[in-house]
């Protein structure tokens, strides 16, 4: 990852009484490709706009979303994100930080508030502008790194299990791909929602992590086939997407809910869509429902995650914490498909504890 020469910060005008620098450090992606296209640049600090907040980023984290948008795969994403070059200049969707300026028409937030949420990119930087409608106040007792690792993966796991699978107390839950960001959140959220048996499918290296997070049974996919192992599940959360509909049907209990987060990216143009369509059609023959969705940030779901973070029922599994200069490595770990938990990205020398978190 290349680094541009630093520029002397100047004091901006109209931003929180002029205390926000006119320029900031950011990770940029000016072309599609692997992590080698990433650079660190000095850019103008964005101005707050109506309906939005200017936030000093205290922590973020890498997600599969960042890798997909960086690589421009599957190719259909370029129809939305830019045909030749990415429209999203700065990666990073997870945000935890401090409000520095409040845009016109925004209520419920003030300069100095600690918040967290999901942005439309831009979080791998000192400052980001984020829609005020999709953030929540950060409660006291939750540190920035934990909050910055939560939104994208936490919302995906929560909406998969609570909104789409509608977990009931005592449900038997299978999580295929339990070691990554979504999987580690899903284990804990399933437990918080009252699931009975929680079966985590992961590698032997991550088995202890899964047990610590609340899995009651762990299957090492390298040494045991979870389909052949049998069992009947009321909820199957499929993060890997590496099985056929016929195989999945064999382990679903009557009335089960199958929730697909994604699927194999073997189709260069359409990515997981052909696989997901086959799963939907194949499960139509079963007494089970098929669910596939794209997670969306809502204040209500963020508040629910915040409550779990405060209570200790949800503890982000953070593999390591890196600075902006190592953001490329964080995304590369996601791209490898073999990461454990989350890699947090912290700009500069940021404290982990909010100074005046919301009570």
pLDDT digits (tens, 9 = 90+) for 298-313: 999 999 999 999 999 9
Query: What's the pLDDT at 350?
Result: 66
Number of H helices, E strands in the chain: 10, 16
**CB proximity list for 106: less than 8 A, separation 6 or greater:** 50, 51, 52, 53, 132
Nearest partner of 320 among 340, 338, 336, 337, judged by Cα: 340
Q: Is pLDDT of 352 > 90?
A: no
339 vs 235, higher pLDDT = 235
> What confidence score (pLDDT) does residue 83 get?
87
pLDDT greater than 80 at residue 16: no
Higher pLDDT among residues 141 and 256, named by residue = 256
Question: Does residue 212 surpass a pLDDT of 90?
Answer: yes
- Domains in the chain, please, with CATH? 2-149+316-345 (3.90.180.10), 152-292 (3.40.50.720)
Write down the pLDDT at residue 335: 87
Model confidence at 14: pLDDT above 80 = no
Q: What is the pLDDT of residue 353?
A: 60
Instruction: Output the pLDDT for position 356.
Output: 52
pLDDT at 15: 45
| Helical (H) or strand (E) element with 291 | strand 288-292
**Mean pLDDT rounded to a whole number for the chain:** 91
Report residue 77's pLDDT band, with 50, 70 and 90 as the boundaries: confident
Q: What is the mean pLDDT of residues 112-130?
A: 97
**What average pLDDT does this structure show over 29-54?**
96
Q: What is the pLDDT of residue 23?
A: 97
pLDDT confidence of residue 129: 98
- Higher-pLDDT residue of 1 and 230 is 230
Contact 74, 276 (CB under 8 A): no
Per-residue pLDDT at 9 exceeds 50: no
**CA–CA dist 307, 112 (Å, integer):** 21
Structure tokens at 49: 């706009």
For residue 289 the two structure tokens come to 């429902």
- Whether the Cβ atoms of residue 144 and residue 59 lie closer than 8 Å to each other: yes
H or E segment to which residue 256 belongs: strand 252-260
Which value, in Å, is the radius of gyration of the alpha carbons in the chain? 21
Rounded to an integer, the average pLDDT of 243-252 is 96
Q: Give 172-207 pLDDT, tens digit per residue.
A: 999 999 999 999 999 999 999 999 999 999 999 999
Query: Residue 20, Cβ neighbours under 10 Å: how many?
Result: 23
In this prediction, residue 264 carries a pLDDT of 81
Stretch 31-35: mean pLDDT, rounded?
95
Paired tokens of 210: 């899964």
Place 138 in a pLDDT band, splitting at 50, 70 and 90. Answer: very high
- Closest to 135 in 3D by CA, of 281, 327, 299, 290: 299
- Whether the predicted pLDDT of 270 surpasses 50: yes
By DSSP bridging, strand 318-322 and strand 135-137 are unpaired
The 8-class DSSP code of residue 326 comes to: G
Region 96-120 average pLDDT? 97
Of the two residues 336 and 58, the one the predictor is more confident about is: 58
What pLDDT was estimated at residue 7?
41
Name residue, tokens 């963020």. 302
Residue 11's pLDDT is what?
35
- Dihedral in degrees, nearest 10, Cα atoms 327, 329, 331, 332: 160
Question: What pTM did the predictor assign?
Answer: 0.90
């Amino acid at each position: 990852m290349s680094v541009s020469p630093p520029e002397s910060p100047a004091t901006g005008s109209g931003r929180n009484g002029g205390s926000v620098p006119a320029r900031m450090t950011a990770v940029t992606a000016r072309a599609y490709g692997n992590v080698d296209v990433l650079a660190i640049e000095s850019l103008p600090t964005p101005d707050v706009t109506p309906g939005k907040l200017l936030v000093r980023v205290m922590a973020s984290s890498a997600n599969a979303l960042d890798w997909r948008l960086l690589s421009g795969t599957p190719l259909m994403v370029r129809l939305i994100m830019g045909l030749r070059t990415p429209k999203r200049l700065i990666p990073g969707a997870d945000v935890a930080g401090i409000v520095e300026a409040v845009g016109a028409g925004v209520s419920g937030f003030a300069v100095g508030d600690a918040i967290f949420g999901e942005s439309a990119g831009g979080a791998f930087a000192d400052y980001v502008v984020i829609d005020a409608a999709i953030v929540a106040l950060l409660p006291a007792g939750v540190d920035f790194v934990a909050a910055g690792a939560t939104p994208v993966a936490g919302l995906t796991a929560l909406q998969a299990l609570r909104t789409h699978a509608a977990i009931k107390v005592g449900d038997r839950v299978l999580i295929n791909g339990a070691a990554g960001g979504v999987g580690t959140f899903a284990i804990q959220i399933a437990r918080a929602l009252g699931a009975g048996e929680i079966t985590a499918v992961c590698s032997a290296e991550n088995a202890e992590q899964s047990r610590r997070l609340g899995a009651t049974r762990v299957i090492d996919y390298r040494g045991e086939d979870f389909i052949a192992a049998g069992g009947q599940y009321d909820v199957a959360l499929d993060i890997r997407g590496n099985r056929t509909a016929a195989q999945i049907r064999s382990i679903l209990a009557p009335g089960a809910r199958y929730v697909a987060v994604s699927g194999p990216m073997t189709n260069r143009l359409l990515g997981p869509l052909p696989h997901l369509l086959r799963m939907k059609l194949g499960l139509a023959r079963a007494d089970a429902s098929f669910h596939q969705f794209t997670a969306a940030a809502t204040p209500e779901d963020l508040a629910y995650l915040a409550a779990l973070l405060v209570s200790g029922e949800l503890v982000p599994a953070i593999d390591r914490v890196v600075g902006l200069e190592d953001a490329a490595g964080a995304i590369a770990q996601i791209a490898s498909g073999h990461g454990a938990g989350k890699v947090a990205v912290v700009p500069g020398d940021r404290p982990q504890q909010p100074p005046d978190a919301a009570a």
